[in-house]
Chains A and B, each alone.
Chain A
Amino acid sequence: MTIPGLLPELEVIRKDFPILERTVAGGQPLVYLDSANTSQKPQCVIDSMVDHLERHNANISRAMHALGAEATEAFEGARDRVAAFVKAPSRDEVVFTKNASEALNLVANTLAWAKGPLAVGEGDEIVITEMEHHSNIVPWQLLAERTGATLRWFGLTDDGRLDLSGVDDLITERTKVVSLTWVSNMLGTINPVADIAARAREVGALVVVDASQAAPQLPVDVVASGADFVAFTGHKVVGPTGIGVLWGRREVLEALPPFLGGGEMIATVSMERSTWAGIPHKFEAGTPPIVEAVGLGAAVDYLDAVGMEAIHAHEQAITGYALEGLLSVPGLTVLGPQDAASRGGAVAFELAGVHPHDVAQVLDTRGIAVRAGHHCAKPAHARFGVQSSTRMSSYLYTTPAEIDALVEGLHYTRSYFKVG
């Protein structure tokens, strides 16, 4: 089966991912449709990490020996690669964190502590959206609580897009921060971040973009996005867990106070006071995730080698094929936009008469891995009157045959639970 837009060397790409060779559930091939949760890792990422641990392991930026220099070079080299991946104007604007949640918390916390023009206080407003992952809701609720600012949000239209009708009433002179997801992890919606950022700029608000689902599947240009901050996580871009990225505009990063205190983030320390290192190190207290950075560097190199435009086209082709297949299942309702062009590769759905846990359980016995639950987006589920959903999510290694297996599995699920 070929569909226009699929990666031409899909079988070659699949061979790069050793886990796709394995079988599950009594010898059945793995059908991994949970990449929005975490992506699988190509051999080159695994090898880069093993090689680093086997040959170059040392702490960075302080060890005065050969291994220390190699480890430092590997870690900082990863920063260069990530900067290139997101087209950052400067490598110093790339801060390594533990994950996307920590990146978002870094911004929300340092804003709570900021003085001067960046300070957030009573009468100020923070704007988010109803389709955010919990990690782009809770840090802003905490910021509002800590500063007395008011949290507001974009509602959603019935077809799962941001309701932009009241944008000028929502983003006003009182708005200090606008934080939104680029691609929804539940509805799949791709949001017009540059348009919203432009409006936020008019009122002088900072723009934070959660690119956790965007960075894996869209070409990212942080400057073109119009954002002041872009956050994403390593493990969804075929890299390892334990490392995330915060890109921030230099002037803003420099104006913010530190996040965590400790080694690495200082210029000098006396018993009375300390001064801070320049960016990005000001935000990287303690020994960082070194081998994880090495793996992430290899991961974004891999994605760049395949080509983000090509990966995006593949995701759209697979998503279109999946939407068609899913909607052929009686009693199945897709949440979010129904056209592949305006959405990402995560498709959440309901199957009438069968709870998502039970759907996932039946699929698991057929070797098909999906996610069931609220996908850390309870407000978005509540908006659509849904308690939980089943979500399939594809990636650059997903084949049409895997979508066929899912659709067949869903028909079987209906017959197993005797619905319809």
Chain B
Amino acid sequence: MSAELDALYQEIILDHYKNPHHAGLREPYEAEVHHVNPTCGDEVTLRVHLDGDRVVDVSYDALGCSISQASASVMTDLVIGRRVEEALAVHEEFLALMQGKGTVEPDEDVLEDGIAFAGVAKFPARVKCALLGWMAWKDATSQVLRNDNPQETA
């Protein structure tokens, strides 16, 4: 029973939950989004600050369970300072891990602390918790890119 729980609640996750990285809303930012998980009520307000193709800052205010909070924290570690394209590739990797039903072997070189969420993939009800912050980041980032390149969507 405890082993099953421990697979889900890795120490890394609990550490990020108790001491979330990059938490709080900061200026400047080019896009702010508010995402909710309608079934459980978890929510996140998230801001993205890009400089050209680089993710300079991601700040957020999140309400939710340990998994959603820790995932947002790990996500900021993984995307801040990266080029948008690289960060999106990490997002894809994390998404694949989460949707893999426990069959995907995580690549620590890419996902770093994100590998701690491998156990979450075996709990279908919690996958959406782990993805809340990531989806908000992707949404905010694509809003900035759209605004920067309006001709692409015209």
Bound-state Cα–Cα, A365 to B7, Å: 12
Q: Contact between B1 and A366 (Cβ–Cβ < 8 Å)? A: yes
Bound-state Cα–Cα, A377 to B5, Å: 29
Q: A357-B129, A358-B65, A361-B123 are in contact. Are A381 and B41 (CB under 8 A)?
A: yes
Q: Which residues, 9 to 28 on A, are CB-close (under 8 Å) to B?
A: 25-26, 28
Provide the residues of chain B in CB contact with A362, threshold 8 Å.
5
Q: Mark A384-420, 1 if CB is under 8 A from B, else 0.
A: 0001100000000000000000000000000011000
Q: Contact between B5 and A365 (Cβ–Cβ < 8 Å)? A: yes
Q: Contact between A388 and B1 (Cβ–Cβ < 8 Å)? A: no
Asked if A236 is at the interface of the complex by the 8 Å CB criterion, the answer is no
Bound-state Cα–Cα, A27 to B141, Å: 46
Provide the residues of chain A in CB contact with B43, threshold 8 Å.
387
Asked if B154 is at the interface of the complex by the 8 Å CB criterion, the answer is no
Asked if A378 is at the interface of the complex by the 8 Å CB criterion, the answer is yes
Within the complex, the shortest CB–CB distance from B130 to chain A, in Å, comes to 11
Asked if A297 is at the interface of the complex by the 8 Å CB criterion, the answer is no
Q: Contact between A387 and B63 (Cβ–Cβ < 8 Å)? A: yes
Provide the residues of chain B in CB contact with A355, threshold 8 Å.
64-66, 69
Q: Contact between A373 and B39 (Cβ–Cβ < 8 Å)? A: yes
Q: Which residues, 22 to 51 on A, are CB-close (under 8 Å) to B?
A: 25-26, 28
Q: Contact between A361 and B41 (Cβ–Cβ < 8 Å)? A: no
Asked if A317 is at the interface of the complex by the 8 Å CB criterion, the answer is no
Nearest-CB residue, chain B, relative to A353: B18
Q: Contact between A378 and B5 (Cβ–Cβ < 8 Å)? A: no
Q: Contact between B40 and A373 (Cβ–Cβ < 8 Å)? A: yes
Bound-state Cα–Cα, A372 to B40, Å: 7
A-B pairs with CB below 8 Å: how many? 53
Q: Contact between A361 and B63 (Cβ–Cβ < 8 Å)? A: no
Q: A355-B64, A357-B126, A358-B65 are in contact. Are A374 and B1 (CB under 8 A)?
A: no
Bound-state Cα–Cα, A26 to B4, Å: 10
Q: Contact between B66 and A358 (Cβ–Cβ < 8 Å)? A: yes
Within the complex, the shortest CB–CB distance from B7 to chain A, in Å, comes to 10
Provide the residues of chain A in CB contact with B65, threshold 8 Å.
355-358
Q: Which residues, 348 to 386 on A, are CB-close (under 8 Å) to B?
A: 355-358, 361-362, 365-366, 372-374, 378, 381
Q: Which residues, 37 to 96 on B, are CB-close (under 8 Å) to A?
A: 39-43, 63-67, 69
16 examples of A-B residue contacts, CB within 8 angstroms:
A26-B4, A355-B64, A356-B65, A357-B42, A357-B65, A357-B66, A358-B65, A358-B66, A361-B8, A361-B126, A365-B5, A373-B39, A374-B41, A387-B63, A388-B42, A417-B66
17 more CB-based (< 8 A) A-B contacts, given A356-B65, A388-B42: A25-B1, A26-B1, A26-B4, A357-B40, A357-B42, A357-B64, A357-B66, A361-B126, A365-B2, A372-B40, A373-B41, A378-B41, A387-B41, A387-B42, A416-B5, A416-B9, A417-B66
Binding site for B on A (CB under 8 A): 25-26, 28, 355-358, 361-362, 365-366, 372-374, 378, 381, 387-388, 416-417
User: 3 closest Cβ contacts across the A-B interface?
Assistant: A357-B65, A355-B65, A374-B41
